[in-house]
Amino acid sequence: MSTDKILLDHGSGGKASHSLISDLLVPEFENPILAQLNDSAVFDIEGKRLAFSTDTYVVDPIFFPGGNIGDLAVNGTVNDLAMCGATPLYLSVGLIIEEGFPTADLKRVLRAMKDAAKKADVLIVTGDTKVVPSGAADKIFINTSGVGFVPEGINISGHNARPGDKVIISGTIADHGITVLTQREGMTFESQIESDTAPLNHMVGKMIAASDQIHALRDPTRGGVGTSLNEIATQSNVGIKIYEESLPIRDEVVGICELLGFDPLYVGNEGKLLAFVGPDHAEKVLETIKAAEYGKDASIIGEVVTDSPGKVFMKTRIGGTRIVDMLTGEQIPRIC
């Protein structure tokens, strides 16, 4: 850590977040399960494999087109469990509420959590509520943790991508981050863009049933697709090549990104996954994703290569090649 104070950048999900985690957190808590650094911890208890994950939500504003902080918090933890091939089962909910927060808003948030849990087929089984004085928190922060079981024979990890794998994205990129940003800035676009917040566990279940060659999964949340691809390239020690023209993205999102100077590769998603799949099964898995709810815009966006391990490259629309680094700098704070 090169700074003596924590900066917003340390929460970006990008390079600074990774150095905070690898320089301060991992050495402090060092153990082989944590060291995997996947979306969930996966471990054995009495011969059963379990996945366990946690995530905290501070999104601003708390209500936005397509969802609110409540369904976002449920879907986020459900998805982190699903990215390890786990079937999510039980969630906890921790609420930190600012004094003066309207009860009607709390009811709206809780109802969204209930509906999201139902949709994902998980139960919220324990929780905690704290209220802090006005100004000590901003409206409401939510932590969710979750446990699930990993079916026999499933070994999906960020460490398992291998040369030849095809890289699939399950739909359009950058919708969530751009939705939250435009709301927050009070931008009065005649916009149809909505957050993509959604549970992906049912999609993952179908993918696993269709193929035994799904090597790695990741939900490209904070830090976006660019950062998630870098994580996998580093964890698996492989190169990744993607094609700009294959990236599904809404025209409106492209327009807003250009207007505001954002690179959609680094804007967060909350209902998308990246899948690394053996080449012979890529088409089959792509079709499975496309047939699933939330997957109709899925596309193969690239492949895993042997050269330049740990690096991500993008063939641009105009035929050049650029390095896609991990997100540096806090592109959009408090998007989740």
Query: For binding to Mg ion (CB under 5 A), which residues are involved?
Result: 39, 80, 219
Q: Shortest Cβ contact with Mg ion: which residue?
A: 39
In 3D space, the residue among 146, 162, 153 whose CA is nearest the CA of residue 216 turns out to be: 162
CB of 135 to Mg ion, least distance (A): 31
Cβ contacts of 125 within 8 Å, gap of 6 or more: 90, 91, 92
When the beta carbons of 39 and 165 are compared against Mg ion, the nearer one is 39
When the beta carbons of 217 and 324 are compared against Mg ion, the nearer one is 217
Report the alpha-carbon distance of residue 253 to residue 146 in Å, rounded. Answer: 32
When the beta carbons of 39 and 196 are compared against Mg ion, the nearer one is 39
When the beta carbons of 219 and 244 are compared against Mg ion, the nearer one is 219
Report the alpha-carbon distance of residue 326 to residue 217 in Å, rounded. Answer: 18
CB of 84 to Mg ion, least distance (A): 10
Helix (H) or strand (E) holding 241: strand 239-243
Structure tokens at 238: 């492989």
CB of 273 to Mg ion, least distance (A): 9
When the beta carbons of 80 and 196 are compared against Mg ion, the nearer one is 80
CB of 39 to Mg ion, least distance (A): 4
CB of 4 to Mg ion, least distance (A): 29
Report the alpha-carbon distance of residue 180 to residue 335 in Å, rounded. Answer: 6
Count the neighbouring beta carbons within 10 Å of the beta carbon of residue 56.
15
Count the neighbouring beta carbons within 10 Å of the beta carbon of residue 48.
10
Cβ-contact 204, 121 below 8 angstroms? no
How many angstroms separate the Cα of 154 from the Cα of each of 50, 149, 150, 215, 284? 11, 10, 7, 9, 18
When the beta carbons of 39 and 71 are compared against Mg ion, the nearer one is 39
CB of 191 to Mg ion, least distance (A): 26
